[in-house]
Amino acid sequence: MFENLLFSTSDFIATVTINRPASRNALNSATIEELRTVFERIRDDANVHTVIVTGAGDKAFVAGADITEMSSLTPAEGEQFARRGQSVFDAIERLGKPVIAAVNGYALGGGCELAMACTLRVASENAMFGQPEVKLGIIPGYGGTQRLARLVGKGAALELLLTGEMISAAESLRIGLVNRVVPSSELRSVCESLAKKIMGNAPQAVRFTLQAVHQGLDSTLEAGQFLEATLFGMCCATEDMKEGTKAFLEKRAADFKGK
C-alpha cells in the first residue's frame, strides 16, 4: 500500500523500512506523508506493541532529505516543509509505544533526525551519523537542533551542528547518541531481542514510562515529579500491577494482560 515504505508485522512487532535505496532512502515529501500514515495505523493497532524502523539495503538508514525538493523552496514553503516533518517525527516520538531505530548505514540530516525521534537507537558498526545542513546553507528542520542537544548535551551537539561533519557509530555511542553498536549481521536480531525484552513488561507501565519521560523533559523537575506520581498512582489501579507484584512475591514470571 506504500510507494516508499515497506511495512510488516510479526509477533506484535511492526517493521517500517524506508524503501528508496536508489536515493539512499532520502526522505522526500511523499515518504514523510507515508510515515505519517503508517504510524497513525500503528498507534491505533492493539496488535502492535513495539516498532523497528530501518532503511532498505546495507548502505543507508536514511541519508537525508531530498535535496532536489528543497532547493527551490521559498521562505514560507521552507517553514511549512519543516513543520510537516516535525509533526511526523513528534508523532513517532510520542507514539506511546517503543520505537527502535535499526541504523544500518548513513543516518544524515533527516535520517539522523528520524533516528533521534525513535525511543532507542541501535547502530551497525558501519553506521555514520551527522547533521550536515550548514554545508547546504540551511539548518536542521525536523527537530535536529532540539533533540540532538537533549541527547548528547549542548557542547557536543553544537560541534556536530556547526561543523556539519559525520561521526562513526563508535563515536556516536561514546557521546550518547546511540544505545548500542553491533555487527551489521546482528542488527536485526539485536533489535528484535530488545523489543521482546520490552514487551515482556507490563504494557501500561511501558506506556506510562514513555509519557513520564517525554512530558517531564519539557517541564520543570517539580512538574515532572508531579506527573510521575500521578502516573504511578494510575499504575496502582491496573490488573497488571496486581499481577506483577503477586508474581514477584510468588517467585514466578508475571502474565501481563495490558489491563
- Kindly list the structural domains of the chain, giving each domain's residue range(s) and its CATH number in brackets, ordered by start: 5-199 (3.90.226.10), 203-249 (1.10.12)
Say what the pLDDT of residue 184 is: 95
Q: Which three cell numbers stand for residue 26?
A: 532520502
Q: Which three cell numbers stand for residue 2?
A: 506504500
| Residue 239 annotated among the catalytic residues of the structure | no
| Residue 113 annotated among the catalytic residues of the structure | yes
Q: Which three cell numbers stand for residue 36?
A: 505519517
Long-range contacts of 66-73 (CB under 8 A, 24+ apart): 66/23, 66/26, 66/27, 66/28, 66/29, 67/26, 67/136, 69/28, 69/29, 70/136, 70/138
Say what the pLDDT of residue 69 is: 84
| CA–CA distance, 259 with 249 (Å, rounded to integer) | 20
User: What is the mean pLDDT, run by run of 10 residues, along the chain of 259 residues?
Assistant: 94 96 92 97 95 95 86 90 96 96 97 98 97 95 96 97 97 98 97 96 93 92 94 92 90 87
| CA–CA distance, 222 with 127 (Å, rounded to integer) | 38
Three-class DSSP category at 30: helix
Say what the pLDDT of residue 64 is: 86
Catalytic site residue from 33, 133, 171, 228: 133
φ, ψ dihedrals at 118, nearest 5°: -75, 160
Q: How far apart are the first and last CA of the chain?
A: 32
pTM of the model: 0.94
Say what the pLDDT of residue 65 is: 81
Long-range contacts of 73-79 (CB under 8 A, 24+ apart): 78/138, 78/141
Q: Report helix angle 221-235 to 203-217, nearest 10.
A: 170
Q: Report helix angle 203-217 to 239-249, nearest 10.
A: 110
Cell 514513555, residue located: 210
Say what the pLDDT of residue 116 is: 98
Q: How far is CA 115 from the centre of its chain?
A: 5
How many of the other CB atoms lie within 10 Å of CB of 43? Answer: 15
50 DSSP assignment? E
Catalytic site residue from 113, 159, 165, 171: 113
